[in-house]
Amino acid sequence: MKVIGDYHTHTIYSHGKGTIEENVLVAREKGLSVIGIADHGPGHRFYGVKRENFKVMRDEIDRLNELYDDIEILLGVEANLLDFKGTLDIDENEIKYLDYIAAGYHFGIMPKNVGTAYSLYFQSKIMNMSNSTFENLKEKTTDSLIKAVEDYDIMFLSHPGAKVPVDVVRLNQACIENDTLLEVNGKHGYLTVDDLKLLKGLETKLILGSDAHSPHRVGEVAHCLDRVRAAGLDLKNIVNIESEGGSNGVNSNNRT
């Protein structure tokens, strides 16, 4: 079993430790065919990519693709969910430079209003909330991610269930209907084994992501693969690994 691509890596353009080229060099050393740079969207108050840097990153990646012909280098973004309407922190001014979009929820975003900030940010951090409050938040955050999947061309949802609770089964169905992948993330531990068990027997498409914040972490998804195995899911559900029969699903357009 071979990992053929890592689409979730960070660089100094957000809060990663390495440059784009350093991530590329490690990916080549590890035999990856594809490396994706997905730094945090500009709506993050602490380490979002500056909007003017998307063109800079695009130009750099185009240059590196000319320099290294043994690997495909892609520019993505890990966009931030801003509200319960599914709004992301990017628009056409940024999207035109991108090869793909990942999206998820992160602490440190700049919500649209105080009510959204309370519900998305503060409630999600309260561990002793009542069952009814927890279930209400889970329903609202799931609905908002589904709306984002419907409104944007999202390649994958990053670490679903981290930071805010989600209904994995409902989210999975929406992702299948909208050609979006669910990520098994190497940094946050989501999807968890228990989450993945809920998907057993269902149509599902998964992508393994290192969420590397340092170059040496690029391509490190073995523990993600272990979680999928522990849940008893068919590895054919994972699109960025190569089995004896070839790649499981990512095509030249980086979609399933």
Rounded CA separation 131/118 (Å): 18
Highest mean pLDDT among 70-79, 159-168, 186-195, 243-252: 70-79
pLDDT (tens digit per residue) in 21-40: 999 999 999 999 999 999 99
- Residue range 133-137: average pLDDT? 83
The 5-9 sheet, strands edge to edge: 5-9, 34-40, 72-80, 102-104, 156-157, 181-185, 206-209
Report pLDDT for 248: 63
pLDDT of residue 250: 66
- Please state which of the ranges 114-128, 129-143, 212-226 shows the lowest mean pLDDT: 114-128
pLDDT surpassing 60 at residue 51: yes
Q: What is the pLDDT of residues 143-171, one digit of tens each?
A: 999 999 999 999 999 999 988 899 999 99
Q: Is the pLDDT of residue 246 over 60?
A: no
| 252 pLDDT more than 80 | no
**Residue 175 CB coordination number (10 Å):** 23
Assess contact for 55 and 15: CB atoms under 8 A: no
pTM for this model (two decimals):
0.89
Of 41, 36, 122, 136, which Cα lies nearest the Cα of 81?
41
Residue 163's closest CA among 181, 180, 185, 179? Answer: 185
Residue 163: alpha-carbon gap to chain centroid: 14
pLDDT at 136: 86
**Whole-angstrom distance, CA of residue 28 vs CA of residue 179:** 28
Contact 240, 248 (CB under 8 A): yes
Give the residue from 65, 62, 95, 55 showing the smallest Cα distance to 77. Answer: 95
Residue with tokens 């993050």: 44
Cα–Cα distance for residue pair 161/192, rounded to 1 Å: 8
- For the chain, how far is it from start to end, CA to CA, in angstroms? 19
- 2-247 has which fold? TIM Barrel (3.20.20)
Residue 109 has pLDDT above 50, yes or no: yes
What pLDDT score was predicted for residue 132? 72
6, 23, 47, 206, 234 from 241: Cα distances, Å: 10, 19, 30, 10, 12
From residue 83, how far is each of 42, 51, 105, 164 by CA, in Å?
15, 20, 10, 13
Q: Residue 116 has what pLDDT?
A: 55
Nearest to 214 by CA among 6, 74, 4, 12: 12
State the Cα–Cα distance between residues 68 and 71, nearest whole angstrom. Answer: 6
Pick the more confident residue, 117 or 239: 239
Q: Which of 218, 238, 188 is nearest to 35 (CA)?
A: 218
pLDDT value of position 182: 99
Domain ranges of the chain: 2-247
pLDDT at 235: 97
Average of per-residue pLDDT values in the chain: 90
